[in-house]
Amino acid sequence: MERYIMKGGDPLVGEVCIGGAKNAALGILTAAIMTDEDVVIDNLPDVRDINVMLEAIQEIGAHVTRIDRHTVRINASAIGEVSVDDEYIRRIRASYYFIGALLGKYKSAKVPLPGGCNIGSRPIDLHLKGFRALGAEISVERGAVVAQAVELKGAHIYLDKVSVGATINVMMAATLAGGLTIIENAAKEPHVVDVANFLNSMGANVKGAGTDIIRIRGVHRLHGTEYSIIPDQIEAGTFMCAAAITRGDVVVKNVIPKHLEAISAKLQEIGCEVIEFDDAVRVIGKPCQMHTNINTLPYPGFPTDMQPQITVTLALAKGTSIVTESIFENRFKYVDELARMGSNIKVEGNVAVIDGVAGFSGASVNAPDLRAGAALVIAGLAADGYTTVDEIGYIQRGYECFDEKLRGLGAVIEKVDSDKELQKFRLRVG
* Shortest distance (Å) from residue 240 CB to ligand UD1: 17
Q: Are 281 and 257 in contact (CB under 8 A)?
A: yes
Query: Which residues are tagged catalytic?
Result: 117
* Shortest distance (Å) from residue 123 CB to ligand UD1: 4
- Residue number of the CB closest to ligand UD1 reads 165
If the CB atoms of residues 79 and 117 are measured against ligand UD1, the closer one turns out to be 117
* Shortest distance (Å) from residue 120 CB to ligand UD1: 7
d(CA 293, CA 356): 13
d(CA 49, CA 117): 11
Report if residue 217 touches ligand UD1, rule: CB under 6 A: no
If the CB atoms of residues 133 and 187 are measured against ligand UD1, the closer one turns out to be 187
Compose the 113-142 pattern: x for residues touching ligand UD1 by CB under 6 A, - for all others.
---------xxxxxx---------------
Judged by CB under 6 A, the number of residues near ligand UD1 is: 21
d(CA 143, CA 259): 36
* Shortest distance (Å) from residue 319 CB to ligand UD1: 28
Restricting to residues 147-176, name those near ligand UD1 by CB under 6 A: 161, 163-166
Among 198, 328, 332, 360, interactor with ligand UD1 by CB under 6 A: 328
Among 12, 26, 136, 341, interactor with ligand UD1 by CB under 6 A: 26
Restricting to residues 256-315, name those near ligand UD1 by CB under 6 A: 303-305
Neighbouring CB atoms inside 10 A of 375's CB total: 30
> How far is Cα of residue 271 from the mean position of the Cα atoms in its chain?
27
Handedness of CA 338, 342, 348, 351 (dihedral sign): negative
d(CA 267, CA 265): 6
Cα separations (Å) of 144 from 80, 85, 86? 18, 9, 12
Among 94, 134, 214, 377, interactor with ligand UD1 by CB under 6 A: 94
* Shortest distance (Å) from residue 158 CB to ligand UD1: 13
Q: Are 216 and 180 in contact (CB under 8 A)?
A: yes
Backbone angles phi, psi at 97, to 5 degrees: -65, -20
d(CA 70, CA 46): 6
d(CA 67, CA 62): 16
Give the footprint of ligand UD1 on this chain (CB under 6 A).
Answer: 23, 26, 93-94, 122-127, 161, 163-166, 187, 303-305, 327-328
